Structure 1
């Protein structure tokens, strides 16, 4: 990390030294001090060459071999045989290319500070009839902790109060809050969605679930296989051709300057410059679509994805419960039932209560003010609305208040993953409100279009229950559905799918972070997703639309294709120049100038990646995607 930081700081300086040296040498000639120009150019070249040689040694120790060797050879040969101008030009183009590439790699890359910031730093512990704030490291098994509303549970433990309502979506993928009664175990990393409760710690913070997830992310990032730079893949072949032509020219003619000219023309500036320019252009274009791609390597991997693994909650589905249907008893209108229930639920802070209120207000309803409200945390609420005695809550809560068994309510079980909220008015069951976490609009179209980008496998990997996963994916073109997965099992799923080619993982929760880090390409739903997943991912969708992945795939494929065009075109022109130099038609300085012309040509071609043109006629613009989703959402709303 320290070496990378040092390189980031040195690169702008390395660009400035040969640039200023080149200008200073020409200025010396103009002022009549032409004898100083070669010395100035040598002085401006040497710092770049020394840094380059140090990087080559470091790379070779790691077993990496890149185009840097060709650049080092051309600079060294030019200095040895007195072609100082050619040497400084090569130094300038090389350092400029490296700076552009480092800019591409460093774009939007941040450390996992957000993941670590989610971990609570302190906890409230009961001690001597009072509360004390202590550091997480000071928590021991058996300590009784107070978990306030909105707090993240700091350690694994058991509920010591009558009831606790937790949002576990970041850990398990379950979109709806989960109620835990006294004595039940809860996991660290879940958030308190209800009233404050007491927790008895069962282990230390360092041994808890959330700490284990962080360790999984770090291990997955370390174990991910490094990807070579696109340009480096052609390094060995290009070096062999260059050395062969330069050696033949020197051996057959006895003129070392011809060999120098060959090396200067062969300086791989088209590869060093064009590839990062095309990739940075692709990154900029993707950002305009609300797709934050963290560097050129991520963009390149994105262009060759063969398998896609998706999380369910917050990715395939909206991640928020919505009112999907209303079932009423005879004599009750659906809107009347919803208005009365929502009016009473205004007095509750529970997530489901707020969902019901939001559903009523979305329909333009005017809600009444409730009175005589009494809430049983995590179970339900009762009170008076417009003079009527109303009870709203879970089936067991409402049946208990009515003094009958739950089966006597005569309510059929809902679909897996849905929540049934019963409403009783004046001592009798008036109806049921059904809430569920629904598929995102356009999901089926999105999955189908993934196939057009060469995706061969589409897999669902969720921590939710098997029956819920099966219900959600019914009729969708998934090749496999994996449910009830822990974070480490999601990583295993990623690794098993890698046999089919590069794997893209799309997720949004804390439990997705290890899998996002382990995948060849991690894509996080960054609009409402957990900060942990956004930090572990290579790509963050800044718009809350799964379909935004499609423009990203298209941009990545087009940017890579343009980069390859520049590579092939640049290499071809360089080889022609090398042959001309070998026959003595080009001097080293002329070779440097010709190389500059080649550089300009390939860079202009690489900049085409900035143009917002689709690679195929069947693409949808972001506005078209959003429009289709709004239309689909409107149709869904009309069905409710």
Structure 2
């Protein structure tokens, strides 16, 4: 009956026509509310102040604009093959005019137009967070060219261009900090309120707002390939989508329409009183069945977006509410996805911090991922790094050079042992966890120590998995490409039902399919190799903050913030939204049927029925909007 605003049939040729009609409806809604309100007031004035004969015509004339617009909507819907409860509203207004119930006609017109306006307001409020993402899309960029700054459109920005990001600017493309320190507000993307600080060489995500001093950005992607552009595409898809529950409401609409006409016609036929039949029609106008579901689903999607969970549509939200099995990747999902220093073992008189400082100082000359991890750890500990000299790098093995006048060797065990007398025996006695990476350090010809790096499990993972079970996820399975010993060591103590290791992308698809007999399957991953499994699952969830673009495109849900606890929050939001939608439908339809039966037995006049039904509609819309609010929390991870 009402256009929910989340219906998706964008592939149909009539889509431009539908958009034009929706725009016309949006512009006309305030007027369509004002006209019957004014007509009702003028007619009431005439009725009570000596001009009763004018009251009926005034009410009838004020009803006609609403009825005409409604008939236009019905014709457009029928041309698309949609049969909705708008027909009930048209029948009730037409019947009231035909049988001279002009007051009932104007009340129905006012209530119907008011109900549409209220639903429109509810959806605008529910879409507020989604719309905020779209409204922040940058249009221009300040680019360095020939020693000058020029303002260019985003389409002109290419990888390798150097851009100036001023205070208050929204980062237009993905890139890295080229000069300066970037202080970025990523709250619109991730829901995190605390700004992040990025140094030279650090990656910057498009869509973040610069809240610090100006800095230079080296573009790594074009605007249409950047993170924010992808998010905008996902948001637009989510706004066009239609939930299975909304489609179910469409099917119920036909049943409700038939029941309404049968009750109305039966009351008229058995009593010979057309007013009773009219009263039944009026009570059924409009229907909370299709008011409640779209508002609750859109509210849930908006609530999720506000917390850094991008749900691509109503279907995804509805499936998330019913998930029974979880297949989860390890690297970058259960773990952080990058090597971090977990232990510094000194084998000499050097302290742990001094050993790390010396090794990181030499590693400044290398682009290797392990070298970057050591430098980052030293910077986080505020260790003063020295400038290395005489550096010679053996790619993939290690470096030699001088730091503060000392001869330093940093690299793998074999690389250091072959260049340092007595190092082989000392290194053989050291121990490290399975799956960890070790970096040996020698200073002035003697073994100095070992740095242990590992991809650590995210904090609070065990507690999170137990909470997921409490939310109804019956099966939790690990699917990883790592060796069995690494997978077992990292996940020791976690409440997992099965661990599958050394998997290819095809193997991960097989694991997902094997879990489907247990119920709807959610797959969570972050890498390119996870994309096929994400697409094969009933619900794919991508760790989008640092994950691959392929996984974000294949997924139904993208976690924009690099926190796994958002998975639990998303499930709770989805289940609450679905529960509120069902609650609103059951209560609203139940009250509508009670009102229709009451009207059929002659206990309600058409005017009374219209007022009662409007009260029901307002109640279910306000109840559906509860999906926007609190009542949902996630444990910190």
- TM-score when normalising by structure 2: 0.69
For residues 14 and 490 of structure 1, do their structure 2 counterparts lie closer, same or farther at Cα, with a shift above 3 Å needed?
Answer: farther
Secondary structure of the structure 2 residue equivalent to 1:69: coil
Alignment partner, residue 78 of structure 1: 93
| 1:28-74 per-position Cα deviation (integer Å, ceiling 9, x unaligned) | 573988646535633433444443454356456xxxxxxx5333234
Structure-2 separation of matches of 1:485 and 1:290 = 30
Q: 1:563, CA displacement in angstroms?
A: 2.4
Is 1:388 the counterpart of 2:406 in the alignment?
yes
Is 1:556 the counterpart of 2:574 in the alignment?
yes
Is 1:42 the counterpart of 2:64 in the alignment?
yes
Q: 1:357, CA displacement in angstroms?
A: 1.8
Query: Is residue 67–residue 93 contact of structure 2 (8 Å, CA) maintained in 1?
Result: no
Structure-1 separation of matches of 2:252 and 2:470 = 29
| 1:442-474 per-position Cα deviation (integer Å, ceiling 9, x unaligned) | 000001111110110111223334433232222
Structure 2, gaps ≥5 residues long: 1-9, 47-53, 99-104, 138-157, 159-174, 177-233
Q: How does 1:52-451 map to 2 (within 5 A)?
A: 52-55=74-77, 58=80, 69-76=84-91, 78-79=93-94, 82=97, 84-85=105-106, 86=108, 89-90=111-112, 93=115, 97=119, 108=130, 227-229=244-246, 231-232=249-250, 234-235=252-253, 238-329=256-347, 331-402=349-420, 410=428, 414-451=432-469
For residues 100 and 542 of structure 1, do their structure 2 counterparts lie closer, same or farther at Cα, with a shift above 3 Å needed?
Answer: same
For residues 594 and 351 of structure 1, do their structure 2 counterparts lie closer, same or farther at Cα, with a shift above 3 Å needed?
Answer: same
Structure 1, gaps ≥5 residues long: 61-67, 115-134, 136-149, 152-216, 615-620, 630-640
Moved more, 318-327 or 335-344: 335-344
Structure-2 separation of matches of 1:500 and 1:28 = 59
Q: 1:80, CA displacement in angstroms?
A: 5.4
Q: 1:395, CA displacement in angstroms?
A: 2.8
Is 1:526 the counterpart of 2:541 in the alignment?
no
Structure-2 separation of matches of 1:518 and 1:8 = 33
Structure-2 separation of matches of 1:599 and 1:432 = 69
Number of matched residues? 506
Structure-2 separation of matches of 1:370 and 1:593 = 82
Alignment partner, residue 485 of structure 1: 503
Q: 1:104, CA displacement in angstroms?
A: 6.1
Q: Give the superposed CA RMSD.
A: 3.9
For residues 517 and 510 of structure 1, do their structure 2 counterparts lie closer, same or farther at Cα, with a shift above 3 Å needed?
Answer: same
Secondary structure of the structure 2 residue equivalent to 1:410: helix
Query: Is residue 478–residue 498 contact of structure 2 (8 Å, CA) maintained in 1?
Result: yes
Structure-2 separation of matches of 1:456 and 1:107 = 32
Alignment partner, residue 21 of structure 1: 32
Alignment partner, residue 455 of structure 1: 473
| 1:164-210 per-position Cα deviation (integer Å, ceiling 9, x unaligned) | xxxxxxxxxxxxxxxxxxxxxxxxxxxxxxxxxxxxxxxxxxxxxxx
Q: 1:246, CA displacement in angstroms?
A: 1.9
For residues 398 and 10 of structure 1, do their structure 2 counterparts lie closer, same or farther at Cα, with a shift above 3 Å needed?
Answer: farther
Alignment partner, residue 499 of structure 1: 517
Q: 1:361, CA displacement in angstroms?
A: 3.1
Structure-1 separation of matches of 2:117 and 2:517 = 38
Query: Is residue 292–residue 585 contact of structure 2 (8 Å, CA) maintained in 1?
Result: yes
Is 1:541 the counterpart of 2:559 in the alignment?
yes
Alignment partner, residue 51 of structure 1: 73
Secondary structure of the structure 2 residue equivalent to 1:269: coil
Structure-1 separation of matches of 2:66 and 2:127 = 26
Structure-2 separation of matches of 1:233 and 1:337 = 70
Alignment partner, residue 612 of structure 1: 630
Structure-2 separation of matches of 1:332 and 1:323 = 17
Structure-2 separation of matches of 1:604 and 1:90 = 16
Q: 1:353, CA displacement in angstroms?
A: 0.8
Structure-1 separation of matches of 2:501 and 2:562 = 24
Structure-2 separation of matches of 1:461 and 1:422 = 32
| 1:67-98 per-position Cα deviation (integer Å, ceiling 9, x unaligned) | x5333234245325636533574366358647
For residues 100 and 368 of structure 1, do their structure 2 counterparts lie closer, same or farther at Cα, with a shift above 3 Å needed?
Answer: same
Query: Is residue 36–residue 110 contact of structure 2 (8 Å, CA) maintained in 1?
Result: no
Structure-2 separation of matches of 1:537 and 1:108 = 18
Query: Is residue 524–residue 542 contact of structure 2 (8 Å, CA) maintained in 1?
Result: yes
Structure-1 separation of matches of 2:368 and 2:273 = 85
- TM-score when normalising by structure 1: 0.69
Structure-2 separation of matches of 1:323 and 1:518 = 36
